[in-house]
Every structure is written in structure tokens, then in C-alpha cells.
Amino acid sequence: MVLDSKCSCLFSNNSNIKPILNKRFSKNNNTINSVINTIPIGIIILDSKFNVVIWNPAQEKISNVCSKSAIGENVFNIFPKILSKNIEVKIKNVVQNKETIVLNNFRINRFFLNKYYNIKISPLENESLIVHNIIITIEDCTMLHNIKYELENTSKILKKRI
């Protein structure tokens, strides 16, 4: 039996197994899509040319860009101002070095407000260990950042009073 990169059965010596495997992997693919679409963390999956393959609903809320507009577009064209050259280099390094990069409390100024995000950029390798996709997860941590900032300021004020 041989499976392609989408886990669809290409051929098998046993003709009875092919429909079963196709149904099973199709069901798993639907489950994966359901998970991606329901988790509250932005998920972007890019192909090897940095074009968007997946853009989940949480990412739509974070970026204010709908998935229909994003899918098929180069991620650097979607975020020309937000994704600085520094981030572009980091994303390209993920492919070259096959290592995950984490950016904690990454600040983005949106609509004159500072928003903070934890961003994780990871390579996705195929069976031959070649990076064929990149996954970017984006979690809004603005509230936690602001609470920490307020606690630090309150602590400084209290220390001055003592």
C-alpha cells in the first residue's frame, strides 16, 4: 500500500482496503479542519513560497483579514507593514534551519493601539524531511501583558511609599 502526502491511498494489493482508507483519512482531515477552525489561536499555514494555505477564523479576528482574501496570497503581501524585514528573515530561517522560532510579547500597533502577541513559527516536513509548509500560531496576549505592566507599576509605587 502507498499513501500520498494527503494520506490518500494511491494503490494497494488489496482492493478492499482502498475505499476504507480513503474514507478514514477523509474523516481525519475533516476532524483536523474542525480543530483548526475552532481553537481560539490564530493559525496560518504557508506553502514553500510563503503563500497562505490555511487561515483560520481566529486569525481572521486577529488580523481583520478574511480567509477568502488571504488564501493563495503571499503572507508578506498581506502584512507588508506588520511583518518587518526582521520577521521575514525569521520565517525564512525556519525553512532553512528547520527549527521553530518563538516570539513572545511581539508588539504590533493596530489602529493606534498596541497589541501583543505570542507568535510561534514552525516548519512542517514531509516524509523525506523536506520542509513543505510553515505553520504560524498567533495568540493575543495583550490582556496578560497589560496586567503584568499594571502590576509592575503598582509594585514600583508601593515600594516608593515604603
Domain ranges of the chain: 1-38, 41-161
Kindly give the parts of the chain with pLDDT less than 70: 1-29, 80-86, 110-112
Pairwise CA distance, residues 43 & 53, whole Å: 10
CATH number for the domain whose boundaries are 41-161: 3.30.450.20
- Secondary element (H or E) of residue 156: helix 142-161
The predicted model scores a pTM of 0.71
31 three-state secondary structure: helix
pLDDT at 31: 80
pLDDT tens readout for residues 85-123: 667 788 888 888 889 999 888 887 766 678 888 999 999
Residue whose C-alpha cell reads 510563503 in the numeric block: 50
Q: What's the chain's average pLDDT?
A: 78
Q: How many CA atoms lie within 13 A of 37 on its CB side?
A: 8
